[in-house]
Amino acid sequence: MQKKKIQVLLAAALCGSMLLSGCSFGNVVDNVVDTVDDVTSEDTDETAEKVVDGKEVDDSLESPTFTREPSGSINIMYGTPYTMTAEATVNDGGTVSYQWYKNNINSNGGGTMIESASSQELSVETAEEGTVFYYVVATNNKGDGVRKTTSTTEGITVMKPGSWQDDGTGVYHYIYDDNSGYMVSTLVYDGTGFMYIDESGQKTAGIWTPDGNYIGDDGYMLTNGWTPDMYYVDENGNKLADCWTPDDHYVNGEGQMWTSGTTPDGVYVDENGNRADPPQ
């Protein structure tokens, strides 16, 4: 998975990915300011335990495979509700259970178990500023044995508390409560979607961010659709490239719709990018 950086000038924050097979693109919400190593699903301290809830770890059982897991990193407005979801499967007749953990470093091992967080979903605490990394352990329970897999991490950076205030000229900025300044150059989730606050501290609309995400006319990052200049962005707001989109149009290496010609895989498309018979 390719990653991108979302820069934050006032707060060292981490921003958040799912892949579509066969396409090349970056992750909208990856590391910010300081780059940290990618964390992958693997055996960790949590999976290394030999006895779990009275059951022995059985290496002959199938390891759970995540079809959805925490990944990347995002900025969230202080106090904004946010829920993570994980899903893992096994095909040997076992039952999958879950346990969530949190960590103060970007590692999916050695974290603190979150009490009463044993379902597929986790409601993240956002009433305290700072960055926390979350991950989940999926357990295959079958007979008297268990087998575990640990997910990747997702970094959640809760921004400083503040409020939108008029600077006296009709321009609004998100002013921090501690009077340390206002939010700038940040892609941040506010409960409705991801908005981009530019270098002057203002909300944006109808623009591409410096990191390649399109902010629609409603002021939120576009996902799963076409931009006005005919680029397709996925569920994470990233451009697809060199592949067919979910609505059956081909995008070139720059991510723009292929029109009036033959795609690299030999399909002719018309002026609207639709499959068509080639001209005679």
242-274 burial, b if ≥16 CB within 10 A, otherwise e? bbbbeeebbbbeebbbbeeeebeeeeebeeebe
The answer on pLDDT for 18 being more than 60 is no
Determine contact, residues 237/214, Cβ cutoff 8 Å: yes
In the structure, what pLDDT confidence band is assigned to residue 106 with cuts at 50, 70 and 90? very high
The answer on pLDDT for 210 being more than 70 is yes
Mean pLDDT of 192-209: 97
What is the spatial distance between Cα 98 and Cα 121, in angstroms, rounded to a whole number? 9
pTM for the whole structure: 0.77
Taking only the tens place, the pLDDT of each residue in 19-65 is: 333 454 334 444 333 334 456 665 555 555 666 667 889 999 999 99
Locus of tokens 């609309």 = 205
Cα–Cα nearest to 252, from 269, 277, 228: 269
**Domain residue spans in the chain?**
51-68+82-122+135-152, 241-280
What is the spatial distance between Cα 255 and Cα 232, in angstroms, rounded to a whole number? 7
The answer on pLDDT for 219 being more than 90 is yes
What is the spatial distance between Cα 46 and Cα 98, in angstroms, rounded to a whole number? 12
List of residues 6+ apart from 115 with CB closer than 8 A: none
Determine contact, residues 73/154, Cβ cutoff 8 Å: yes
Mean pLDDT of the chain: 86
Return the bridge partners of 42, or none.
150
Locus of tokens 């759970």 = 64
List of residues 6+ apart from 48 with CB closer than 8 A: none
Taking only the tens place, the pLDDT of each residue in 73-87 is: 999 999 999 999 999
